Chain A
Amino acid sequence: MSMKRNSWKEYQKEIAEDHYYYARSCIRQNFFPGSEAAFLRILQENLSKDIFDDPRHTSCTGIGYHSDIVPLETIMTVVARQFSLMNAAGYENFASSCITSFGIYTEILETWNEFPETEERTRENLWKATKREFVKPKNLAHTSDIIFHFREEIARQAKYRLVNARTGEPLKGVEHIGCHYAKIFPKSGVGGAEFPYVLAGMIESWGGEVVDYPERRHCCGFGFRNYLVQANRGYSVANSQKKFESMAPYKPDFIVCNCPGCTMFLDKWQYTIAEMEGTTYGQDGIGIPVLTYEELAGLVLGYDPWDLGMQMHQVNVEPLLDKMGVRYDPEAKYLGKNGKFIGAPREAAVNCFSGERLYRIQR
């Protein structure tokens, strides 16, 4: 047991203290725009850090690369352009909001190191296409690394803790890391590939208890082309379902994810499974709330859940808010800009307890 608890310490990574260049994520900005806004606010307002939000950077094209329509040489040149923009803005520390991108940046830096001719060709391509040059970042971090790095300071400023406000018991959190955080290069992630600690450290520092379960390291099932193409989506939901079946007996109060794609899939596939099979995996016959780490940090710091964008989740988050004792206005959930009510989404089975929809484990 002590080996497990301590082994993450063998995989320590350097995380810059300040002055970050922020690279947004296609999926996070699309499905969790409140999380990206919260990350900037936490760094700037709670931690007094300098972070630059550059309107000129683009997608890293990683979803295209991992569905094999974007060649390696092309994504290397797109990444080189991001580094060039960071240089031009006067920054050295690159902070990626996406696990797929983080894996891409890590892999490309390693490939340039291992096969220097690929870096040479990338420099030629970038110059030919844009007349830009670049210097590689001094420090590369995923944005969760930065929240992890300052987790104790966030704990000191906490308004709420991951504790059941009624019983005083720690809330149970499933952490899902996202394959490309450390499976490609274990040394690039806090805790490595086998015992990643980046999210577990946050849960523990903020008063919660980490759930260990058999399929903890299994992929969420994104599988790139296996979700992007409608005919293939059975792969994706089946792999998520494998995780839900494995974690449910441990009665988690929430799931927190590192990767924006995983957050979306573990949220949306719970809806799909509830609609298709009548199966739900949370307590009281409803779904398990799925959060980004920015949302978790924001709740702990006392941010309004609707300012964090939690109304965009398919599985309702209110059961978790109530357990934590978070004060929120239920009437404000579906307000648009200027505070006007814009209608509410239709109800879904995953959010409605019904005696006929009792959780079952297929074993």
Chain B
Amino acid sequence: MGKYFEMLMEDVRLKEGLTACMNCGVCTGVCPAAEFYNYDPRQIVNIVQGQDDDEIEQLLRSDTIWYCGECMSCRPRCPRGNTPGYVIQALRTLSQKTGLFVESEKGRQQLAIKRIVGEHILEKGYCISPKLVKPEAHPEQGPVWEWIYEHDEDVFTRFNPNYNRAGAGAVRRLDEQTLGEIREIFRVSGGQEMFDTIERHSERKAREMGYDGADDRYMSDVYRTNSGNHH
């Protein structure tokens, strides 16, 4: 048994998600990621249950573990009660803790998610809010969203007079005590440490790749770049 497998087994999601896989491939058959990417959850589960350290390290460095959409469609269909989606969650957590996530194009995207969603949680208490969905970064949202974005005060106050203000209702402004509690929860439970780890390894990798650190240019590139080698 290798050190990576032991580290994975510290995660309750791996204990819950993997007992003995018989390689039937039902998970791959129902997987939306397997339809779109060169991706096979059956193979990932098989590698992990093999407990070979070198092979697990290859996974931690790869694009492969970042293809899953965590829809968990695999969970109710597995005849052995396994959850490949949980195995993926444990692998991704370990890839970030060890810094190996920056060795793949898809893994490096964690910086963008941390800076967009993660920092928004600490700042506003929500994963997203209207002004975060900028039309130039979200052309798929279409002209109605552009209209909403431009007239947000008019559109949202029709449903909640407290829009962006103190009080109850949709997209209200959270009070400072609430936000202080959320930030403190992140500090004591490892959330802040995860954010710092993502930043630290991204900074190192960005310099290795010739950027002046994990700056806006690096961030923009990891957010937008698709090498097209994933299918």
Q: Kindly identify which residue among B73, B148, B185 contacts A129, using a CB–CB cutoff of 8 Å.
A: B185
A356 within 8 A of B: no
- For window 199-231 of B, CB contacts with A under 8 Å fall at 222-226
**Is there an interface contact between B69 and A55, defined as CB atoms closer than 8 Å?**
no
Expressed in whole angstroms, the Cα–Cα distance for A71 and B97 within the complex equals: 11
Inter-chain contact B146/A71, CB cutoff 8 Å: no
Q: Tell me the dominant secondary structure on chain B's binding face.
A: helix
Q: Which residue of A lies closest to B116 (CB)?
A: A228
- Please give the distance in Å from A191's CB to the nearest CB on chain B: 13
User: Contact string, B65-104, partner A, CB cutoff 8 A, digits 1/0?
Assistant: 0111111110110000000000001001100100000000
Taking a contact as CB atoms closer than 8 A, the residue among A229, A237, A269, A336 that contacts B113 in the complex is A229
Contact B73 A33 (CB under 8 A): no
Rounded to whole angstroms, the CA-CA distance of A72 and B11 in the bound complex is 9
B117 interface residue per 8 A CB criterion: yes
Contact B32 A58, beta carbon cutoff 8 Å: no
Instruction: Confirm or deny: B2 has a beta carbon within 8 angstroms of a beta carbon on chain A.
Output: no
* Interface pick from B18-26, B48-56, B186-194: B186-194
Q: In the complex, which range does the number of interface residues on chain A fall in?
A: 35 or more
Judge whether A54 is part of the interface by a CB distance below 8 angstroms. Answer: yes
Is B7 interfacial (CB-CB < 8 Å)?
Answer: no
Please measure, in the bound complex, the distance between the C-alpha atom of A193 and the C-alpha atom of B75, giving whole angstroms: 10
- The 8 Å CB contact of B117, one of A69, A269, A309, A340, is A69
Residues of A within 8 A of B151 (CB): 336, 342-343
Contacts of A344 in B (CB 8 A): 147
Nearest chain-B residue to A103 (Cβ)?
A: B72
* A230 contacts partner chain B, Cβ-Cβ < 8 Å: yes
User: Given A29-B170, A59-B121, A70-B118, is A347 in contact with B143 using a C-beta cutoff of 8 Å?
Assistant: yes
Chain B window 172-199, contacts with chain A (Cβ cutoff 8 Å), 1 for yes, 0 for no: 1011001001101111111100110010
Please report which residues of chain A, range 254-285, place their CB below 8 angstroms from some CB of chain B when the two chains form the complex: 268-269, 271-272, 275
Q: A26-B128, A37-B170, A223-B33 are in contact. Are A69 and B114 (CB under 8 A)?
A: yes
Q: What A residues does B128 contact at CB under 8 A? A: 26-27, 30, 63
Residues B191 and A74 in contact, CB atoms below 8 Å apart: yes
The answer to whether B181 and A81 touch across the interface, beta carbons within 8 angstroms, is: yes
Do B36 and A238 touch across chains, with their CB atoms under 8 A apart?
yes
- Per-residue CB contact flags for chain B residues 40-70 toward chain A (1 = under 8 Å, else 0) read 0000000000000000000000000011111
Kindly provide the distance from the CB of A333 to the nearest chain B CB, expressed in whole angstroms: 11
Contact A345 B144, CB 8 Å, known A64-B121, A74-B190: yes
Q: Are B172 and A55 in contact (CB-based, < 8 A)?
A: yes
Q: Are B187 and A314 in contact (CB under 8 A)?
A: no
Contact A271 B142 (CB under 8 A): yes
Cβ-defined partner of A59 (8 Å) among B75, B126, B159, B191: B126
Q: Are A72 and B117 in contact (CB under 8 A)?
A: no
A271 and B140 in contact, given A56-B178, A62-B127, A193-B76 (Cβ under 8 angstroms): yes
A contact residues around B160 at 8 Å (CB): 33, 37
A residues in contact (CB < 8 Å) with B: 24, 26-27, 29-30, 33-34, 36-37, 53-56, 58-59, 61-64, 66-74, 76-78, 81, 103, 111, 114-115, 118, 125-126, 128-130, 132, 179-180, 182-184, 186, 193-194, 217-219, 221-226, 228-235, 237-239, 242, 268-269, 271-272, 275, 307, 309, 311-314, 334, 336-337, 340, 342-348
Closest 6 CB pairs of A and B: A223-B69, A336-B154, A74-B191, A33-B170, A29-B170, A345-B147
- 11 A-B pairs with CB atoms under 8 Å apart are A33-B159, A37-B170, A53-B169, A55-B168, A69-B194, A74-B185, A183-B72, A218-B73, A228-B117, A229-B223, A336-B158
Given contacts A183-B71, A183-B76, 17 further A-B pairs with CB under 8 A are A30-B130, A33-B170, A34-B159, A55-B166, A55-B174, A58-B121, A58-B125, A58-B174, A68-B110, A69-B117, A70-B194, A74-B190, A76-B189, A179-B71, A184-B75, A229-B113, A268-B140
